Structure 1
């Protein structure tokens, strides 16, 4: 059986009022794992366009997509799922309020959290370097080596 193709995804690093936006992208909150909003890339649209669409679907927010800041990849050895994610720094355009009852069309995102740099250390967040990337002043592109997925 041929291996599954590598999935390409985009993620948004959105820091507003010294807080990073995180989402729980596990239906019905079946995991406590939090990540940056974003998702799979659809063919025929640029990475920034895909990301703006994903952020809008998952949060209702409109963003301006900036420079890439992190490339992360992970895999699930149980299913051979392998994903490469390109994280971009993003800025909110307009209101930064996510309605409490906001639901993405696929009903996957179960929670939105604005977390300070201090609060992130108490949360289950992947990738591990996300907080450093979000809150550091160095805007160089970073790479996280392949790691197993952790639920």
Structure 2
């Protein structure tokens, strides 16, 4: 299995009610995720998160701390993924889809429904609305702290 790092960003609307989600084109069916994707060689997870959000949604974001870290095996792809999800804030840009072959739709989704798509376990239901974070530290320096 190949180890893959993935970075996602949790973004709320102005009313803090809805979460920005992207509908990805899958091989068999489409599926929703937070905006984000794989970390490229030589890139930090922070840089990947900001780049992926821009590529998938057209939006510019600034990051807060880490919302969750999770791990999964994707046997069909041969990937062992470590997933870093940041809290973020939209600071510019406009919603647009640069890669229609990958992204079908960018949409605002009710937070509790979004939780189902981002695999928050039932015992942590409501976590998305708490917006708790831990610091993101790079080379001993706190880059992003709690919002």
Corresponding residue number in structure 1 for 2:20: 21
Corresponding residue number in structure 1 for 2:53: 55
- Alpha carbons of 1:41 and 1:118: their partners in 2 closer, same or farther (altered >3 Å)? closer
Corresponding residue number in structure 1 for 2:141: none
Unaligned runs of at least 5 residues, structure 2: 136-147
Corresponding residue number in structure 2 for 1:45: 43
Aligned-partner SS, 1:134: helix
Q: TM-score, normalised by structure 1?
A: 0.72
- Say which structure, 1 or 2, has more relative contact order (CA 8 Å, 6+ apart): 1
Corresponding residue number in structure 2 for 1:126: 118
Please give the alpha-carbon distance, in whole angstroms, between the structure 2 residues aligned to 1:42 and 1:49: 9
Please identify which structure carries the higher strand content.
2
Cα pair 1:20 1:134 within 8 Å, conserved: no
Runs of 4+ aligned residues of structure 1 deviating over 3 Å after TM superposition are 77-80, 118-121, 129-133, 137-141
Please give the alpha-carbon distance, in whole angstroms, between the structure 2 residues aligned to 1:26 and 1:87: 21
Unaligned runs of at least 5 residues, structure 1: 142-151
Aligned mate of 1:11, from 3, 8, 16: 8
Q: CA RMSD in A?
A: 2.6
